[in-house]
């Protein structure tokens, strides 16, 4: 089973970090292929808790080669800080590879991210403010700075000057901010060159060779399907392809090499930032889920919006990503509920709709049609086999599996590494 993609099925924070960690010891490479330090993955190993943003979660597994591929946007200062923090805790980070083609987040991207959000006022997206959108915009506009540019001072200067020419007009005249000096940016980027150089590689070549030799490569998505720039709730999305297709374009590994697509899905739903969310709860049940599930952002600390499981979204994810296996997480959070509502379809202006509507306006109006499933009260965190779960918890999983369009191969029953029930081997 050489090439495996792991992505989020909802709006992020499904527990992708933990799922990657679960597979970590059995894979040779873990590749981040989209997004940047907007991601926040919490991984709990024994009594240690790690929060990863830019680095793939696989960096925590001994012997794995972590790769930041071409589809990622890299804030180099953040990269070095994260590496230093992990090193200080005894994690070996020496094998990290960074694509020469990855784009670089600079000071002006972060500034523009924040000022555009402020300018949008009530229409703001609620970005993480890390410069993600503006960096991808420059990539598409062909005025981006790539990792390889840092090693050619003449080119770097030319590109930064070109990019700032237009941006400084915008900053000064539209946003009423001070202009940014190209010198300042160039000097900053050049100061990273010596430390960065040994990590930089043709990561597409490295990964394809590894696959040729029969090694196992895990492609770890940041964000999630409903935040994907093409398939998510646009414009309330991130600026990259967080779906499985992004693993190919974001790494230079062709689609016909992928063997399996694992989607991580929470037993309920959360969302950070603005945008439609049909099953969102504004009552004490929502508060209860937030408190029980510790639903506060790993990156920004913002309280996450919470709601019930949405089966049309899981089905949509199964379709868009070609999901072969779901990992259901945080089932333990639901313990203690008498009845658990699950959205099976939507009511859109009086019509029953079974799939995620293609029209954003319809999705904004969609009211969930719920089915209520019986809950359980037993502590399930010690379950390791499916049969260890109480009957109602098993039935909840089976009902969700039936509605969601692919098999549920593993079930999270707690944050720790071993708090998981595996029904089907994810790499076999
Ligand atoms: P990611 O962005 O998809 O990697 O997810 P986050 O790390 O942002 O959020 C998931 C949170 O849930 C983390 O704090 C995990 O430690 C925690 N978690 C993951 N799986 C489980 C589970 O099965 N049960 C519980 N209670 N917590 C879990
Ligand atoms: P992980 O990998 C949840 C959201 C932001 C905002 C929108 C755009 O931990 O699941 P951006 O800064 O990317 O331009 O913000 O996307 N967002 C996430 N929400 N989990 C994430 O990552 C997210 N990364 C971005 O809150 O609504
Ligand atoms: Mg997260």
Position 1 scores a pLDDT of 62
126 lines ligand 2 (CB under 6 A): yes
Residue whose Cα lies nearest atom 5 of ligand 2: it is 127
pLDDT digits (tens, 9 = 90+) for 275-304: 999 999 999 999 999 999 999 988 888 899
* For the CA of 43, the nearest atom of ligand 1: 16
pLDDT tens readout for residues 297-332: 888 888 999 999 999 999 999 999 999 999 999 999
User: 32: Cβ–Cβ under 8 A, 6 or more apart, which residues?
Assistant: 54, 55, 56, 66, 67, 68, 69, 72, 220, 222
Q: Is the pLDDT of residue 398 over 80?
A: yes
For 43, phi then psi, to 5°, come to -125, 130
pLDDT of residue 203: 98
Mean pLDDT of the chain: 96
Q: Say which residue the tokens 């907007």 belong to.
A: 38
DSSP string, 153-178: HHHHHHHHHHHHHHHHHIIIIIS---
Q: Residues with Cβ < 8 Å from 12, sequence gap 6 or more?
A: 39, 223, 224, 227, 270, 271, 272
* Cα–Cα distance measured from residue 283 to residue 13, given in angstroms and rounded to the nearest whole number: 21
| pLDDT given for residue 428 in this prediction | 83
- Bridge-partner residues for 3, per DSSP? 217
User: What distance in angstroms lies between residue 350's CA and the mean position of ligand 1's atoms?
Assistant: 36
Ligand 2 pocket residue status of 127, Cβ below 6 Å: yes
Q: Rounded to an integer, what distance in angstroms lies between the CA atom of residue 108 and that of residue 105?
A: 8
Summarised one tens digit per residue, pLDDT across range 343-365 is 999 999 999 999 999 999 999 99
Taken in order 33, 39, 332, 49, the sign of the CA dihedral is positive
Phi, then psi, of 63 in degrees rounded to 5: 85, -15
pLDDT of the residue at 299: 80
Q: For helices 153-169 and 107-120, what crossing angle results, to 10°?
A: 20
Tens digits of residue pLDDT in 63-89: 999 999 999 999 999 999 999 999 999
User: Which domains occur in the chain, in start order?
Assistant: 3-94+202-422 (3.90.170.10), 103-197 (1.10.300.10)
Asked if 38 contacts 132 with a C-beta cutoff of 8 angstroms, the reply is yes
Taking the centre of ligand 3 as the mean of its atom positions, its distance from the CA of residue 39, in whole angstroms, is 6
* 349 CB neighbour count, 10 Å cutoff: 10
Give the number of the ligand closest to the Cα of residue 304: 2
Catalytic site residue from 13, 75, 228, 332: 13
Both tokens of 342, joined, read 């699950």
Tell me the CA–centroid distance for residue 13 and ligand 2, in Å.
Answer: 9
325 is catalytic: no
- Tell me if 391 sits within 8 A of 375, measured CB to CB: no
Per-residue model confidence (pLDDT) at position 292: 97
Q: Clarify whether 13 is annotated catalytic.
A: yes
| pLDDT-based confidence at residue 245 (cuts at 50, 70, 90) | very high
Predicted TM-score (pTM) of the model is 0.97
pLDDT of residue 370: 98
């Amino acid at each position: 089973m050489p090439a495996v993609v792991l992505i989020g099925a909802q709006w992020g924070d499904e527990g992708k970090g933990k799922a990657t960690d679960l597979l970590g010891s059995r894979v040779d490479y873990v590749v981040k292929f989209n997004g940047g330090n907007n991601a926040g993955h919490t991984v709990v190993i024994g009594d240690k808790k790690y929060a990863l943003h830019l680095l793939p979660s696989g960096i925590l597994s001994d012997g794995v080669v972590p790769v930041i591929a071409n589809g990622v946007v890299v804030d180099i200062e953040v990269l070095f800080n994260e590496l230093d923090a992990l090193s200080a805790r005894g994690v070996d980070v020496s094998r990290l590879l960074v694509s020469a083609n990855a784009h670089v987040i600079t000071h002006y991207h972060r500034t523009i991210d924040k000022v555009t959000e402020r300018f949008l006022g009530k229409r703001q997206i609620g970005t993480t403010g890390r410069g993600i959108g503006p960096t991808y915009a420059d990539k598409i506009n062909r005025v981006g700075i790539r990792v390889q540019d840092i090693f050619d001072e003449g080119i770097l200067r030319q590109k930064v000057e070109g990019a700032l020419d237009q941006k400084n007009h915008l900053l000064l005249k539209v946003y009423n901010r001070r202009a940014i000096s190209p010198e300042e940016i160039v000097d900053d980027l050049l100061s990273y060159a010596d430390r960065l150089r040994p990590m930089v590689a043709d990561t597409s070549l490295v990964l394809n060779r590894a696959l040729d030799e029969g090694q196992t490569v895990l492609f770890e998505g940041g964000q999630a399907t409903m935040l994907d720039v093409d398939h998510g709730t646009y414009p309330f999305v991130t600026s990259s392809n967080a779906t499985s297709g992004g693993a190919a374009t974001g790494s230079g590994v062709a689609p016909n090499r992928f063997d399996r697509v694992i989607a991580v899905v929470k037993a309920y739903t959360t969302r950070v930032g603005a945008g439609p969310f049909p099953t969102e709860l504004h009552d004490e049940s929502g508060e209860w889920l937030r408190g029980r599930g510790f639903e506060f952002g790993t990156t920004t600390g913002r309280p996450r919006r919470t709601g019930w499981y949405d089966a049309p979204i899981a089905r949509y994810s199964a379709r868009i990503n070609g999901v072969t296996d779901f990992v259901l997480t945080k089932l333990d959070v639901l313990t203690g509920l008498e009845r658990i509502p699950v959205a099976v379809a939507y009511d859109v202006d009086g019509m029953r709709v079974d799939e995620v509507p293609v029209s954003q306006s319809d999705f904004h109006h969609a009211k969930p049609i719920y089915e209520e499933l019986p809950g359980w009260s037993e502590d399930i965190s010690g379950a390791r086999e499916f049969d260890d779960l109480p009957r109602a918890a098993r039935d909840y999983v089976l009902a969700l599996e039936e509605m969601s369009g692919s098999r549920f191969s593993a079930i999270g029953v707690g944050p720790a590494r071993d708090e998981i029930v595996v029904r089907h081997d994810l790499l076999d």
